[in-house]
Amino acid sequence: MKLSIILVAYDMQREIPRSLEALCPSYQLGGDQLDYEVVLVDNGSPTPLAINADDYPGLRLQQLRIDDAPPSPSYAVNAGVKAASGDVICLMIDGAHLLTPGTLQWASRCFAAFDNPVVATRYFYLGPKEQPESIVEGYDQAAEDKLLAKIAWPSDGYKLFEIGTPLRNGANKITWFNRMFESNCLFLRRSLFEEIGGADERFDFPGGGFVNLDIYKQALDAEGATPIQLVGEGSFHQVHGGTTTNSSEEKRQQRLALYREQYKQIRGHSELVSDKVLNFMGHLPTKASKIHLRN
């Protein structure tokens, strides 16, 4: 298969170089044997991203810049897919994420095993807690830089599990088998992405509101699609000033209420999570990856 990774960025000059490093063939297991490209979409950053492709040996990198971009990343996602050449698409709507080293390899195995898989990678935050909580307590970019230096990232990408926290979405206990409602590293066939209408540009809030959740649910619910959640691989969010992450709990809840209302207006219902039967593929590469052992 030919894979195109759509990486959307807004004002992420600190974060994107690391995101790209985690996508390099030298970092991804078996990367030299995988056929993939990265389409980096600068979604109207006030200061255009300054990325030198030569800094990422072996990575096929295409860069797009959208001037006067809408505040939502929906248009940028669609533009990135249009520019891509792959028959399989990986959507990373928030480009400030670091992947573990086996993500692309395990996703490719899913496409070898199933005709029309929708493959989701579990969402983690870098830091000691979920970032909406840790930021209030003083977690910031400087603290994050120290954590990454502590594990000597990127020498062993699986050490991200030692400094990260899984998104719980209110669950008291988190395991690899908890049902996910979104993924910031989502793989699906281009044909399926086009079948569901791409990223719906009616989701026009800054940050996209629930567009990422919507793409995931629309893809899972499509006829013939097979939902798969990866086990033992993660997508780790770098702190960067996201629309819901870096705000007080009160403001965050107000935004989420607006997002829910917009979703209801667009889809005619409030069901954000698919109830399709899930499949799982993966491994547990390290002791720290055994998230079911955490409190």
Given a contact cutoff of 8 angstroms between Cβ atoms, the answer to whether 133 and 127 are in contact is no
User: Distance between CA atoms of 24 and 172, rounded to whole angstroms?
Assistant: 35
CB 44 within 8 A of CB 66: yes
3-class DSSP state of 99: strand
User: Two tokens at 15?
Assistant: 């974060």
138: left (phi over 0), alpha (psi -120 to 50) or beta: left
* Range of the structural domain that residue 280 is part of: 3-293
Going by C-alpha positions, the residue among 259, 167, 245, 179 that lies closest to residue 211 is 259
pLDDT of residue 248: 61
Q: Which amino acid belongs to residue 277?
A: V
Distance CA 90, CA 120 (A): 10
Question: Which CATH number does the domain housing residue 164 bear?
Answer: 3.90.550.10
Going residue by residue through the chain, which has 295 residues, state the pLDDT in tens, using 9 for 90 and above.
899 999 999 999 999 999 999 999 999 999 999 999 999 999 999 999 999 999 999 999 999 999 999 999 999 999 999 999 999 999 999 999 999 999 999 999 999 999 999 999 999 999 999 999 999 999 999 999 999 999 999 999 999 999 999 998 778 889 999 999 999 999 999 999 999 999 999 999 999 999 999 999 999 999 999 999 999 999 999 999 755 555 567 788 899 999 999 999 999 999 999 999 999 999 999 999 999 987 6
pLDDT at 246: 54
Backbone phi and psi for residue 215, each to the nearest 5 degrees, phi listed first: -60, -45
CA 104 to mean position of chain CA atoms:
13
Q: How many domains does the chain have?
A: 1
- Residue 187 DSSP SS3: strand
